[in-house]
Structure 1
Amino acid sequence: MTVVDISPATALRRRAQYPTASALVYEGHEFSAAQLSRTVDEFAAGLAERGLRRGDRIAYLGLNSVTFLQTLFAAAHLGAVFVPVNFRLAADEVRHILTDSGAHTLVVEEGHRELVESVMSDVPARCHVLVDTDPRCPSTEAPVAVWTPLSELLGADRPFTVPVPLHDDDLASLMYTSGTTGRPKGVMLTHGNLWWNAVNVDSMVDTRSDDVNLAVAPLFHIGGLNALTLRTLLRGGTVVLRRAFDPAQCLRDLVDHRVTSLFGVPAMYTALMRVPGFAEADLTALRAAIVAGAPVPERLIVDYAERGVLLQQSWGLTETAPFATCLPAGLTTEKTGSAGSPMPYTEIRLVDPATGTRIDGVEARGEICVRGPNVAAGYWNNPEATAAAFDDAGWFHTGDIAHRDRDGFYYIVDRLKDMIISGGENIYPAEVERVLAACPGVLEAAVIGVPDPKWGETVLAVLTCEPGITPTLDVVRAFVGESLARYKLPTRVMVAEQLPRNASGKLVKSDLRRWVEARQHA
């Protein structure tokens, strides 16, 4: 059997041989594939001189940047493992990730240097690189001696090597989960996982070799990195990269760069829709718009369809690199609310979460299990968590609840852990949230269970609303009661200025519960 080299560093070198459009547009600066590849060669040589070897972990802490991507490619060049770190984490959380991963090398932007220095004595890293090559994050003062400026690792005075050949089972990245239920776990994504996701996406989405992809979601998140960005960069297209998501800038980029593909979470698409001029903007080039990463309000799909943009709802997790299902664009209005059917090279089944028994009935709810070459190898240094989530037959038990219609399309109900049990009845918050989001004057909705002496738990709704709108409980219950059973109706309503979300745009229910508790005791 022929073993194919699927290293992204090799793919970047291959693309650099051909004169094509700019590979990367980063905050007003353009980079050809040849420029990127040359810098990656230099970076890899500098890292090798500092002792980084195949299998070692190299962590990156900073916002979206060209250096983020160069670090990923330099890691692949050497066969090292890339560890992107959420730039919004606190010091203790960063300490955990750097020590758990056993990172050999840290690459850090100036804005995060002091945080890393505060935990450095507890972290095993032997090489500390400070980014000084990006004008968007300049150094403010001379760093302490432990730091090596990135510019010192670049240059043509070191011998270059060809990228290490990499294959399906070679570890590519440790991507740490958001940690909403405890310490973040390092998801072991192989190069095969990343590569097969690209094959799946290209099979279900209208992607092309000359795509212009706008990358505004955080690259440390698997959706921002591997939904469209990597495959566009390596296949021959142009990635327009922004350090962070700004709705007004995003709209300008979509128009000015004639963007053809975009990945975003629902909150990003909602914010984009509220930018003045959205209704008139020329978005005719945008033919591959994927929405995922959080529950998607059906109203959002409808609003964009009326605007001429067919959002393709997809579903997956970090462990599925990221997609396991996708709804074809042509079915956006026919199957509104569905996360689609299984990706071509991915298997999906529903099981009873208590017994593990397979569920085949139409509309019957069960836990989603996923199997395929895009599914992670397990959790880094965590055999207990791996054994709990990955069974002996290779199925990953996701903790998400869904049902399937008669045509084989899946509808995500909620996270199993977020389920509310009221009077013996199961209530899935996402189901209630979807209805609440359509309530007049409501912008966003979140639902949690709160203790109740009679029913055990009841539904509490937290809403963000249009200026001057404060829905009463009676109004909310009347509206929701038109669509849902009485036991699912909120018994309390609270209004917030905004909902707590992490850097990936996901609602953080633990933070929401703390906010509710603080308000109750205020």
Structure 2
Amino acid sequence: MAAVDISPAAALHRRAQLPTASALVYEGREISAAQLSRTAAEFAAGLAEHGLRRGDRIAYLGFNSVTVFETLIAAAHLGAIFVPVNFRLAADEVHHILTDSGAHTVVVEAGHRELVESIMGDIPARRHILVDTDPQCPAAAARAAVWSPLSELLGPDRPARERAALYDDDLAVLMYTSGTTGRPKGVMLTHGNLWWNAVNVDSVVDTRADDVNLAVAPLFHIGGLNALTLRTLLRGGTVVLRRGFDPAQCLDDLVHHRVTGLFAVPAMYAALARVPGFAEADLSALRSAIVAGAPVPPQLIKDYGECGILLQQAWGLTETAPFATYLPAGLTREKAGSAGAPMPYTEICLADPVTGARIRETDVRGEICVRGPNVASGYWDNPDATRAAFDDAGWFHTGDIAYRDKDGLYYIVDRLKDMIISGGENVYPAEVERVLVEYPGVLEAAVIGVPDPKWGETVLAVLTCEPGTAPTLEDVRGFAGRHLARYKLPTTVLIAEQLPRNASGKLAKVELRRWVEQQAASAL
């Protein structure tokens, strides 16, 4: 059997031949599939003239925009690899991603130009493209000669480039996710990974060719990009695209555009429910409201259920592109809190986190492992991390602890790696600790997540310091903010005489949490 070309550039081109609805509605402006396909093809030709070749990496730094899709499709046109960069990151973090990926080209919105210029001498990128084609972006001020305006790469005058055929194993995206070592790792997602997630979603979610998807989650996240958005765009539906999430605007869009599908993290759904008029709004078109990215409070499910909306819980990671499990809408109330059953073309198993033995009994906790065509092939230029996470049988060990009930549904109950999820953003303690110990006078730093009514969790730091040098919360945030994104910054700082450790000298976080709870109780 011959291999099938699953390039998103080819899929968009096929869609453009049909009289379908607008492909994108971006901040009120309608864009057809033909327009998007044509612009992406022109962009690909311009990038090729600038030396971008098959297998090269092209990074994008900016908010949600049409240019994200133009860059992704242009990259696919050439067989290049798309690298979306979290726009919340600090310069040090962006520097690591651009260096680690070896990005040949960076596409940057004007609002992030100064950040990139501050690291430009230390990154390998040979081409720097400044977005000047989007009226929603900040106006580009006088620019240095090193920048090429995006508009100069567009236009029909260049020779058309033949689209690269792309198959299951061809790399599509490097999506960076923080690691327990404190440095983000590039998850290697192939075109097959992205395509099979769409097959999984369309097999169990009530999706249709003429869907209207509201994209308000950041597109640098796999959930924002590939939960519903990319499949809607390529299949024939309409993506209503916003540069960011505004709860009141989101509610207006859901009603005005008769949105059928929405992916968001719990904190976003909670904020949406607090908008005046939410309970009375006509959301009858919304049949696929998917929530993932963080634990879902049962009260949130109840609140939406009272408004006639069944939140559909899913679970996955960047490495699973994104979904590995899904809870059908009909089980939302009965199985509240469950991450659901394995996706149709994805395998799930539980393993003893110590011995690695397979757990077949119900209601026994183990590390949840995933295998299937939607699972990433490993980590970019990081064989050690790949070997640590992917075993010889092809199972990806997620680091999450779960159990399976008698009906075969999974419940995520803990995190093996102490990851903090704040507003849907992953925060790894080691990454924050690595920065905090650089503060003058700080001897040791330990970071844990603590409950927060708005964000789900926020960062609490416990420090040991040299005598007379204990910093304030404002001091710590000001220092760490030069190196870390704001959502990673501590919201509470406690000073301790020493950190609890076990017999082998490792930090005992169970004891640390107990000490933090004691401090909170004594402060009442």
Which TM bucket (shorter chain)? Answer: 0.7 to 0.9
**Alignment check: 8 A CA contact 1:47 1:153 kept:** yes
**Alignment check: 8 A CA contact 1:294 1:507 kept:** no
Query: How large is the Cα RMSD of the aligned pairs?
Result: 2.5
Indicate the residue corresponding to 2:150 in structure 1.
Answer: 150
List aligned pairs for 1:509-520, cutoff 5 A. 511-512=489-490, 515-516=493-494
- Following superposition, the deviation at residue 197 of structure 1 comes to 0.2
Counterpart amino acid of residue 274 in structure 1: R
Cα distance in 2, alignment partners of residues 140 and 8 from structure 1 = 30
Indicate the residue corresponding to 1:361 in structure 2.
Answer: 361
Cα distance in 1, alignment partners of residues 109 and 182 from structure 2 = 27
List aligned pairs for 1:388-467, cutoff 5 A. 388-418=388-418, 462-464=451-453
**Alignment check: 8 A CA contact 2:132 2:140 kept:** no
SS at match of 2:73: helix
CA shift in 2, pair 1:73/1:460, >3 Å: closer
Indicate the residue corresponding to 1:297 in structure 2.
Answer: 297
**Alignment check: 8 A CA contact 1:247 1:271 kept:** yes
Counterpart amino acid of residue 195 in structure 2: W
**Alignment check: 8 A CA contact 2:401 2:415 kept:** yes
- Following superposition, the deviation at residue 220 of structure 1 comes to 0.3
Indicate the residue corresponding to 2:2 in structure 1.
Answer: 2
**Alignment check: 8 A CA contact 1:171 1:191 kept:** yes
Does residue 40 (structure 1) correspond to residue 14 (structure 2)? The answer is no
- Following superposition, the deviation at residue 241 of structure 1 comes to 0.2
Indicate the residue corresponding to 2:91 in structure 1.
Answer: 91
User: Which consecutive unaligned segments of at least 5 residues does structure 2 have?
Assistant: 430-445, 455-480, 497-515
Indicate the residue corresponding to 1:75 in structure 2.
Answer: 75
Does residue 274 (structure 1) correspond to residue 278 (structure 2)? The answer is no
Cα distance in 2, alignment partners of residues 516 and 226 from structure 1 = 39
Cα distance in 2, alignment partners of residues 367 and 352 from structure 1 = 6
- Following superposition, the deviation at residue 178 of structure 1 comes to 3.5
SS at match of 1:160: coil
**Alignment check: 8 A CA contact 1:188 1:378 kept:** yes
Cα distance in 2, alignment partners of residues 463 and 214 from structure 1 = 27
Farther off after superposition, 300-309 or 78-87: 300-309
SS at match of 2:103: coil
Indicate the residue corresponding to 1:486 in structure 2.
Answer: none
**Alignment check: 8 A CA contact 2:180 2:417 kept:** no
TM-score, reference length from structure 2: 0.82
- Following superposition, the deviation at residue 334 of structure 1 comes to 1.3
Cα distance in 1, alignment partners of residues 180 and 85 from structure 2 = 16
**Alignment check: 8 A CA contact 2:62 2:87 kept:** yes
CA shift in 2, pair 1:341/1:464, >3 Å: closer
Indicate the residue corresponding to 1:345 in structure 2.
Answer: 345
CA shift in 2, pair 1:517/1:369, >3 Å: farther
1:129-153 deviations in whole A, cap 9, x for unaligned? 0000000114341210000000000
- Following superposition, the deviation at residue 464 of structure 1 comes to 3.9
Cα distance in 2, alignment partners of residues 203 and 336 from structure 1 = 22
Counterpart amino acid of residue 402 in structure 1: A
Indicate the residue corresponding to 1:109 in structure 2.
Answer: 109
- Following superposition, the deviation at residue 82 of structure 1 comes to 0.2
- Percent identity over the alignment? 77
- Following superposition, the deviation at residue 191 of structure 1 comes to 0.2
- Following superposition, the deviation at residue 282 of structure 1 comes to 0.3
**Alignment check: 8 A CA contact 1:368 1:401 kept:** yes
Corresponding pairs, count: 449
Cα distance in 1, alignment partners of residues 449 and 160 from structure 2 = 60
**Alignment check: 8 A CA contact 2:167 2:192 kept:** yes
- Following superposition, the deviation at residue 507 of structure 1 comes to 12
**Alignment check: 8 A CA contact 1:190 1:377 kept:** yes
Cα distance in 2, alignment partners of residues 407 and 319 from structure 1 = 26
Counterpart amino acid of residue 24 in structure 1: L
- Following superposition, the deviation at residue 204 of structure 1 comes to 1.1
Does residue 25 (structure 1) correspond to residue 25 (structure 2)? The answer is yes
Cα distance in 1, alignment partners of residues 46 and 333 from structure 2 = 52
Counterpart amino acid of residue 286 in structure 1: L
Cα distance in 2, alignment partners of residues 232 and 143 from structure 1 = 36
Cα distance in 2, alignment partners of residues 22 and 7 from structure 1 = 21
SS at match of 1:25: strand
1:384-418 deviations in whole A, cap 9, x for unaligned? 10000000100000000001000000001021122
**Alignment check: 8 A CA contact 1:260 1:286 kept:** yes
Cα distance in 1, alignment partners of residues 350 and 230 from structure 2 = 30
Does residue 57 (structure 1) correspond to residue 63 (structure 2)? The answer is no
Cα distance in 1, alignment partners of residues 173 and 7 from structure 2 = 12
Farther off after superposition, 316-325 or 135-144: 135-144
Counterpart amino acid of residue 378 in structure 1: G
Cα distance in 1, alignment partners of residues 262 and 45 from structure 2 = 34
**Alignment check: 8 A CA contact 2:187 2:378 kept:** yes
- Following superposition, the deviation at residue 330 of structure 1 comes to 1.0
Indicate the residue corresponding to 1:211 in structure 2.
Answer: 211
Indicate the residue corresponding to 2:172 in structure 1.
Answer: 172
SS at match of 2:417: helix
List aligned pairs for 1:472-487, cutoff 5 A. none
Cα distance in 2, alignment partners of residues 225 and 109 from structure 1 = 18
- Following superposition, the deviation at residue 192 of structure 1 comes to 0.2
Counterpart amino acid of residue 388 in structure 1: A
1:15-65 deviations in whole A, cap 9, x for unaligned? 000111101000011000000000011000000000000000000000000
Counterpart amino acid of residue 282 in structure 1: D
Cα distance in 1, alignment partners of residues 297 and 67 from structure 2 = 35
Indicate the residue corresponding to 2:255 in structure 1.
Answer: 255
Cα distance in 2, alignment partners of residues 130 and 385 from structure 1 = 34
SS at match of 1:387: helix
SS at match of 1:418: coil
- Following superposition, the deviation at residue 161 of structure 1 comes to 2.0
**Alignment check: 8 A CA contact 2:365 2:401 kept:** yes
CA shift in 2, pair 1:353/1:113, >3 Å: same
Cα distance in 1, alignment partners of residues 105 and 187 from structure 2 = 19
CA shift in 2, pair 1:123/1:463, >3 Å: closer
- Following superposition, the deviation at residue 162 of structure 1 comes to 2.7
CA shift in 2, pair 1:310/1:181, >3 Å: farther
Indicate the residue corresponding to 1:439 in structure 2.
Answer: none
Counterpart amino acid of residue 165 in structure 1: A
